[in-house]
Amino acid sequence: MPPERVRSVRLVTVAVTLLAGLSMIAFMTVGVRGSWSFVLAHRGVRLAALITVAYAIALSTVLFQTLTGNRILTPAVMGFDALFLLLQTTLVAALGSAGAVAIDPRLLFSVECLVMVGLSGLLFRLLFRGEDRNLPLVVLSGLLFGALFRSLSSFLQRVMDPNDFLVLQGRAFASFNVVDPALIGVAALLAVMATIIVLPRLSELDVLVLGRQRATGLGVDTTRLSAIVFALVAILVSASTALVGPTTFFGLLVANLAYLLVPSARHASVLPVAVGLAVMTLVGGQMLLERLLGFGTALSIVIDFVGGITFLLILFRAGRR
């Protein structure tokens, strides 16, 4: 890489890291009233949840886009969001709102992760049986499963008690306000384990960007690498979704901003910027909503709105090319 590009990457990384750090400091300190020990402990748990989710989504999105060779796709295309909604709908419909709330959060977290990882394993068997069929299959399979899960959820919601439906609405959107600290620890541990597995393979991922056939010609075991990366993506997305709920377009937004800011295709350069942008967006956005809008809206709604616009702009830009 030319020296000027190296300096540019370092400058962008440092700037994004500083902004992410400032957003965390602002989240912990702005508007503090009363006992600092209570406020910092309460906000510290929520900050840990925001950082964990931001890290997991940014890492999983960049890895998934490398795996599929397409920067428009996100892990949400595998139907995780629709499956999460179906699980929540089935739970409330079967047990009622009181029974659903009474379930141990750790048990629910484990079941949701296992089901979503199981779905990803099924998709992997479909996606990578042939060298040239992975991208069409990932889109079609994700759309098929997503449509099926949404249809089942819609049917159950129509026959559900209105009071139970109100409870379900609160569980169907991503929420960063009330998170079990024990679940944050489990999700963070999964993210750390995924990072440990990914780091030695960054150079192989750089080669995989060139395409599976070229990567194979250059000595990369693409089948094994794809299996490892897909499993890690499934675990990261399942953990973040089970922890706070679905965030459909968030990964697409931060990943493409990282590609735009970093003049390099190396994962060692893109991933830190993507993670920093994700932390800055989630933590800073939550702080602004709480302090300026007074919880006037959910952060996930704003993210999906901005991310949806970004998705359309990317499509229009690709169409012009």
Burial class (CB in 10 A: 0-12, 13-18, 19+), 253: buried
Instruction: Mention every residue, 6+ apart, whose C-beta is less than 8 A from residue 62.
Output: 255, 258, 267, 270, 271, 274
Tokens representing residue 316 in the block: 């229009």
Token pair 């590009």 is at which residue? 5
Question: Which of the residue ranges 108-112, 195-199, 202-206 would you say has the lowest mean pLDDT?
Answer: 108-112
Question: Beta-strand (E) ranges in 160-252?
Answer: none
CA distances from 273 to 11, 115, 227, 262 (A): 11, 31, 25, 8
Strand, helix or coil at 73?
A: coil
Tokens representing residue 179 in the block: 């998170």
Instruction: Name which of 226, 223, 229, 220 is nearest 199 in CA terms.
Output: 229
Instruction: Name which of 89, 75, 85 is nearest 120 in CA terms.
Output: 75
> Cβ(251)–Cβ(58) under 8 Å?
yes
Mean pLDDT of the chain: 79
pLDDT surpasses 50 at 122: yes
Domain boundaries, the chain: 35-320
pTM over 0.75: yes
pLDDT of 133 reads 47
pLDDT of 8 reads 83
Backbone φ and ψ of 182, nearest 5°: -65, -35
Between 54 and 213, whose confidence is greater? 54
Between 29 and 290, whose confidence is greater? 29
Token pair 């489990």 is at which residue? 186
pLDDT surpasses 80 at 131: no
> Cβ(251)–Cβ(72) under 8 Å?
no
Instruction: Name which of 89, 87, 92 is nearest 118 in CA terms.
Output: 87
Tokens representing residue 293 in the block: 């809008």
Domain 35-320 fold: ABC transporter involved in vitamin B12 uptake, BtuC (1.10.3470)
pLDDT tens digits, residue range 162-200?
888 777 776 666 666 667 777 888 888 989 999 999 999
pLDDT tens digits, residue range 244-265?
777 767 888 888 888 888 877 8
Confidence of residue 311 (pLDDT cuts 50, 70, 90): low
Question: Which of the residue ranges 61-65, 111-115, 152-156, 311-315 would you say has the lowest mean pLDDT?
Answer: 311-315
